[in-house]
Amino acid sequence: MTNPRYSSMSWMRKLGRALSGEAEDREDLVQQMRQALERGLIDADALQMMEGVLGVADLQVRDIMIPRSQMVTVRRDDPPEKLLPVIVESGHSRFPVMDDDRDDIVGILLAKDVLRYVATGRLADFDIRECMRPAVVVPESKRVNVLLKEFRRNRNHMAIVVDEYGGVSGVVTIEDAIEQIVGDIDDEFDVEDDHNIRKEAERQFLVRGATPIAEFNEYFGVELADDEFDTVAGLVMKQLGHLPRRGETLMIGDIEIRVLRADRRRVEALKVLPPRDVQPPEERAAD
C-alpha cells in the first residue's frame, strides 16, 4: 500500500514544480490543483482562492470598478449638515470629493473624519478641505494584481478610475479587488442563504434583491405585479428607470424601499419599510 505521507509529499513536490514554471500552461496548472482537491490535499475554498489569484492577472480595473453612475460622492463646498445624511444613508467609509466638475476629483473624504467632529460636538468647526485625503488615480487598463500590490504598498483602500481621455469612469476599492480572489465579502446587509426576507425590527425588513415577487407578495400581503419581472430587484429597477445606487429610496404602493447594496450588475439587498408591522409566515403558522 502506498504511504499516504509519501504520496502527499510527492504530490506537493509536483505542485511546487508546477508553480516554478514546469507546468505546460495555466490550464495544466489549474488541472493539477483540482487533482490536489480530489486527493484531499487542499479544500474547495483553497482551490477557489488559488484560481482567483491566477485569474486577477487577466482582469483589468475596468472589469471590477464601480461605474461613475453608481459612485456616491460629495462636493468640496458641501456643508457638514449635508455630508452627514450621505454618510449615514450610503454606509460607505470613503467618499470621492468633487469640485464643480464631476471629472475633477479633488480628494477622498473618510467618514470617520467627519464623525470625529460629530462625537466631540465640534461639527461647526469641520472643514472638508482640511480633512480630505489625496485621491489616488489609476487608468481603466491597470491590471488588478498590480493594483492590489499598490494598495498594499501604499496602504490605500480606494482609487479613482479614469479613461484614456482623463475623465472619471468609476471608482475601485481594495474590497473589489480582494473579492476576485476570496469571493463576495458579506456585510451586515446580507441575508442568510436560506432566507430571502429577514425581519430586523418592527416595520423594518431586509430583503434580498433576487426575492421572487410572488414570495414578497405572500410575505407582506400585497399584490405587486409580476408579469414583467420575476424579482423584487427587477421591479425596483423598472420603477427607478435605471440600475439603482446604494441609498436610493422609492415608494411602491404604500411600501418604502431603500437600496442597501448594489453593484454595477445587480441589486443585492433592500430595506423594506411597510406602513404597518408584518408577522413572518413561520410565526403565523406557529400561531
| pLDDT score at 16 | 55
From the first residue on, what is the mean pLDDT of each consecutive set of 10 residues in the chain (287 residues)?
A: 45 50 63 77 72 77 84 87 80 86 85 87 87 92 91 91 90 86 58 73 88 91 85 89 82 89 77 86 65
Q: What is the pLDDT of residue 5?
A: 44
> How much is the pLDDT for 285?
61
Give one DSSP letter per residue of 58-125, joined into a string. T-BHHHHPEEGGG---EETT--HHHHHHHHHHH--SEEEEE-SSTT-EEEEEEHHHHHHHHHTT-GGG
| pLDDT value, residue 287 | 59
Cell of 93: 467609509
Give the pLDDT score at 212.
92
Residue 116 is predicted with a pLDDT of: 87
Would you state the pLDDT for residue 200? 83
Least Cα distance to 170 among 178, 161, 183, 179 occurs for: 161
